[in-house]
Structure 1
Amino acid sequence: MSLIAEAPAGAPPGAARALLLGNFAIGCGVMVVAGSLNDLTRSLQVSVAVAGQLITAAALAMSLGAPLLAALLAGFDRRRLLTFALLWYAVGHAISALSPDYAWLLPVRALTMLAAAVFTPQAAAAIAWLAPPAARGKAITYIFLGWSVASVFGMPLHSFIGEALGWRYAFALVSALALAGAWAVWRSVPDDIRPPPLRLAQWREVLTHPVLMAMVAVTALSGSGQFTLFAYFAPIYRQALGATPVEVSLLFFWFGGFGLLGNVLLSHHVDRFGAGRAVNWLLGLMAVSILFWPLATSVWIMPLVLLPWAFAGFASNSAQQARLGSTAPELAPALMALNTSAIYLGQALGAGGGGAMVAANQALGQSPYAGLHWPALGWMLLAIALSLWVSRQVRRQRAAAHEQQP
């Protein structure tokens, strides 16, 4: 099995690869602050907690923007919409790289990340529209491999560039990647992809459906658990473990490498294994890592503690997208937008809550990251409980529908 899966059968392979590249650029941009957080705090002369609010502000913008922009832009041709989103992303990161101070960078960052709120869900909806129903789950998880590849190469590269050259160069790299993604999408995605726009009644159906909304809430809860810690990996590695810049980059590479492996395996087997069952197992693996977080007292032990989380983290988001797309394919555009919103809401809650705890620990004269894993574990256990409930409800609904068939 190759490291990067083959493009799914039935969907235009060039379009699938272009959307994967676009997601790679988007993923690199989302993670650039976390990867270069150490240099951001030094260069802009702000605390770790304040710098972490760049993650929170961007996540809130993406969370609020995803469903609103999905409704406003529903009628646009996806080739043009996705290309424009990546161009916006490229320009925004270029302006960010030139920002003179934190006060300028914060709003520019938030506005830039509206492009991610558009691209991620609309790319998923576009590939779901192009792929046949039997290959829809594989097609969606395939283009989300771009996020996993970003975690393999983007995070360690951002960290290394931030330490060696400065955070501005890391932002400039994201701008260049977004330009490449825009070119690939324009060149490869077919014209006139216009999934039927959802009527107000369909949005109402999604927002009032308890099982679908609970499914989306699983994403927000698990994201909160992950980003309570993940947003502060770079300073934890450097300050708590005493890691060198190269060791910090290698730890990010380790995390991303197993994230890619988990997503590749999911892409190959999600339609056979079942997206709902995959989500439950992957959330459990992440909870194991967070539970044993206090054991990670050195650079050599940390990779072992991270392993289950690394394997499951990015795959869980892909499995959630496939779960939503297969449960209610006719409502996929709205569900993908809401799920993207939930991803970023979780990031905002996790990064914001983690930053508040770091600031409180510093005010009390304690280690800044002491006890940070406990709220992370709490969020993750809530996600697992809700996901299991969703799985039971989906099974019951499918059994009831089967019984009603003649």
Structure 2
Amino acid sequence: MKRPGLSAPLWALLAGNFVIGTGIMVVPGTLNELSGSLQVSAATAGQLITAGATVVCFGAPLLAAAVAGWDRRLLLACTMLWYAAGHLVATLMPSFGGLLAVRMLTVLSPAIFTPQAAACVGLLVPPEQRGRAVTFVFLGWSMASVLGLPLGTLIGGHFGWRTAFVVIAVLSLLSAAWIWRQLPSGIRPPALTRAAWAQVLKSPLLMGVVAVTALQGSGQFVLLSYFAPVLRETLGADATALGFIWGWFGVCGLLGNMLVSRSIDRVGAPRMVLITTSLIALSLLLWPLGVTLIGLALILVPWGLGCFATNSAQQARLVSMAPALAPGSVALNSSGIYVGQAVGAAAGGWLLANDAIAGMSWAGFAMLICALVLSLAVDRAQARRAAFSV
């Protein structure tokens, strides 16, 4: 049987990330509807983000070891089927507690799909194309912010959050079929031994990159998790206005990821991480000036350009630093993303519950500055190590 061209499986993986990203972001997009339907506060509903992110944080490395021997075609297709089932079951939950439990089970899919798709790419393209291929696959997350998130917000706002969840379930089924059809069989990245995992965990450079990812996520999700209630309270934004803001943010995110995908192999992943993180920090610094929807949309441009692109750059950075350890380091980096979501959503929920909306952007900005400092330190340590090894 003829193997499909490389572009076909890469597009299937990109589409899978689109569905995964849409499913992850549907909660912040429909937070107002979830809060009203389940009769809980917005801060309480936001803990769906915290709990789900915690599951992915611990699940990504643990599940990476558990599924090491699986054929990636079967694994990734089954992961999307699980995602579909989880979103369908969620629509049947009458209470917040039931939805929370189902959500925690559903997000096992992102814990598997995101890192395993990135590790899989390394076996589909030659080494000199890995950076561009990884960032290409992660364009799916940017596309989720352009199309999936605003559509989910609009559908949830006008037809209820359950309808939005059903749409994601249907998209998950389509994604599973696409992956099964296009991904070649027999892709099995070598399982990391205990010694290899130890090598990843004991590497100050690799773990430093993961820590940067966690700080980036924390800084963003302090505010990003609660866009819906914050903008409703400060600017009177309804579902349509929120859909516009999310859509605009997503357009900027898609553009940023495309630019990074085209230039990362030339600029270098470490420098790209600094650029994208600085853009996010700039928007958080300017956030208090967004007193109108149009003004806020302009302030969101740098954040959108950097938001999803910085995750792509971080994944490419890890793959280039230690290709043989990529299955483990990328899985841990996915954990770092969701650690950031959990910490940021928890901190933002506390600030929201204590009527401290004005402090949310400043808390996020401080975390982004810490991420920049740590990223520079990792880059300099790697440069010193390279100089000594010559």
- Given residue 189 of structure 2, which amino acid in structure 1 is its aligned partner? P
Which of 265, 270, 280 aligns to 1:276? It is 270
Task: Check whether the contact 1:11–1:139 (CA below 8 A) recurs between aligned residues.
Answer: no
TM-superposed deviation, 1:245: 2.1
Which of 371, 385, 393 aligns to 2:359? It is 371
CA distance in 2: counterparts of 1:306 and 1:285, whole angstroms? 10
The reply on whether 1:115 has 2:109 as its aligned counterpart is: yes
TM-score (norm 1): 0.94
Tell me the equivalent position of 1:241: 235
Query: What are the within-5 Å matches in structure 2 for residues 1-400 of structure 1?
Result: 12-361=6-355, 368-400=356-388
- Given residue 66 of structure 1, which amino acid in structure 2 is its aligned partner? A
Q: Alignment partner of 1:372: what SS?
A: helix
Question: Cα deviations across residues 312-354 of structure 1 (Å, max 9, x unaligned)?
Answer: 1000000000000001001000011000010011000000111
TM-score (norm 2): 0.98
Task: Check whether the contact 1:222–1:383 (CA below 8 A) recurs between aligned residues.
Answer: yes
- Given residue 243 of structure 1, which amino acid in structure 2 is its aligned partner? A
Gaps of 5+ in 2: none
Q: Alignment partner of 2:120: what SS?
A: helix
CA distance in 2: counterparts of 1:400 and 1:98, whole angstroms? 60
Question: Cα deviations across residues 145-194 of structure 1 (Å, max 9, x unaligned)?
Answer: 00000000111111111110000011111111111110011001011101
Deviates more, 1:111-120 or 1:298-307: 298-307
Q: Alignment partner of 1:18: what SS?
A: helix
Question: Cα deviations across residues 10-66 of structure 1 (Å, max 9, x unaligned)?
Answer: 971110000001000000000010001111111111101100000000000000100
Q: Alignment partner of 1:371: what SS?
A: helix
- Given residue 391 of structure 1, which amino acid in structure 2 is its aligned partner? D
CA distance in 1: counterparts of 2:347 and 2:215, whole angstroms? 13
TM-superposed deviation, 1:357: 1.3
Task: Check whether the contact 1:11–1:127 (CA below 8 A) recurs between aligned residues.
Answer: no
- Given residue 360 of structure 2, which amino acid in structure 1 is its aligned partner? L
Q: CA RMSD in A?
A: 1.1
Task: Check whether the contact 1:223–1:343 (CA below 8 A) recurs between aligned residues.
Answer: yes
CA distance in 2: counterparts of 1:188 and 1:396, whole angstroms? 43
CA distance in 2: counterparts of 1:229 and 1:358, whole angstroms? 10
TM-superposed deviation, 1:299: 1.0
Identity among equivalent pairs (%): 51
TM-superposed deviation, 1:400: 2.5
Question: Cα deviations across residues 345-369 of structure 1 (Å, max 9, x unaligned)?
Answer: 10000001110111122xxxxxx51
Q: Alignment partner of 2:244: what SS?
A: helix
CA distance in 2: counterparts of 1:229 and 1:78, whole angstroms? 35
- Given residue 298 of structure 2, which amino acid in structure 1 is its aligned partner? L
Q: CA 1:175–1:292 in structure 2 vs 1: closer, same or farther (change >3 Å)?
A: same
Provide the aligned length of Structure 1 versus Structure 2.
Answer: 387
Divergent runs of 4+, >3 A: none
- Given residue 205 of structure 2, which amino acid in structure 1 is its aligned partner? V
CA distance in 2: counterparts of 1:358 and 1:186, whole angstroms? 43
- Given residue 399 of structure 1, which amino acid in structure 2 is its aligned partner? A
Task: Check whether the contact 1:11–1:132 (CA below 8 A) recurs between aligned residues.
Answer: no
Gaps of 5+ in 1: 1-9, 362-367
Deviates more, 1:156-165 or 1:220-229: 156-165
TM-superposed deviation, 1:305: 1.1
- Given residue 378 of structure 2, which amino acid in structure 1 is its aligned partner? V
